Amino acid sequence: MKSLPTTVSSPSFLDANLPLEVRVDDLVSRLTLPEKINQLLHENHAIPRLGVPAYNWWNEACHGVGRNGRATVFPQVIGLGATWNRALVRQVAAVIADEARAKHHAALAAGRRGQYQGLTFWTPNVNIFRDPRWGRGQETFGEDPFLTGELGTAMVAGLQGDDPRYLKTAACAKHFAVHSGPEDVRHTFDARPTPKDLHETYLPAFEKLVRSGVEAVMGAYNRVLGEPACGSRFLLVEILREKWKFAGHVVSDCGAIDDFHRHHQVTVDASASAALAVKNGCDLNCGCTYNDLLVAVSDGLITEAEIEISLRRLLSTKFRLGLFDRPERNPWSQTSPEIIDCVKHRTLSRQAATESIVLLKNNGVLPLRHSPDGILITGPTAASVGVLLGNYYGVSPRLVTLLEGITERAAEGTRVVYRAGCPLSSPMAPGVNYTFSTATENELTIAILGLDPTLEGEEGDTVASPTGGDRGMIELPPVQLDFLLELRRHAKKLILVLTGGSAIAIPEAHELCDAVLQVWYPGCEGGRALADVLFGDAAPSGKMPVTVPKRTADLPAFDDYRMRGRTYRFAAVEPLYPFGFGLSYAALSYGGLLLNRRTLGEGEELVLQTQLTNASTFAVSETVQCYVVPPRDWPNAPEATLVEFRKIAVPPRTSISCEFRLASERFHQFDTAGRRVRVPGVFGLVVGSASPGARALALGAPAPAQGEITIS
Residues 6+ apart with CB under 8 A from 32: none
Q: Bridge-partner residues for 613, per DSSP?
A: 589, 655
Q: Does the active-site annotation cover 461?
A: no
With contact defined as beta carbons under 8 Å apart, do 317 and 39 qualify? no
In 222-344, beta strands by DSSP E: 223-224, 227-228, 249-251
Where is 549: in which H helix or E strand? none
Active-site residue, selected from the candidate residues 144, 253, 292, 470: 253
Distance, in Å, from the CA atom of 640 to the CA atom of 643, rounded to the nearest integer, reads 9
Distance, in Å, from the CA atom of 404 to the CA atom of 420, rounded to the nearest integer, reads 14
How is residue 269 annotated by DSSP? S
Cβ contacts of 464-468, under 8 Å, gap ≥ 24: 464/424, 464/425, 465/135, 467/182, 467/183, 467/184, 468/135, 468/182, 468/183, 468/184
Closest by CA position to 308, among listed 4, 26, 49, 57:
26
Distance, in Å, from the CA atom of 88 to the CA atom of 111, rounded to the nearest integer, reads 35
Closest by CA position to 521, among listed 421, 381, 404, 345:
381
Cα distance from N-terminal residue to C-terminal residue, the chain: 50
> Which string of DSSP letters, residue by residue, matches 595-645?
ES-SEE-TT-EEEEEEEEEE-SS--EEEEEEEEEE--TTSTT--S-EEEEE
CA distances from 61 to 65, 145, 289, 665 (A): 4, 22, 25, 34
- Amino acid identity, position 355: E
Cβ neighbours around 327 below 10 Å, total? 12
For the chain, give the number of residues: 712
> Which string of DSSP letters, residue by residue, matches 522-538?
--TTHHHHHHHHHTTSS
In 274-385, beta strands by DSSP E: 358-362, 374-378
- Residues annotated as catalytic are 253
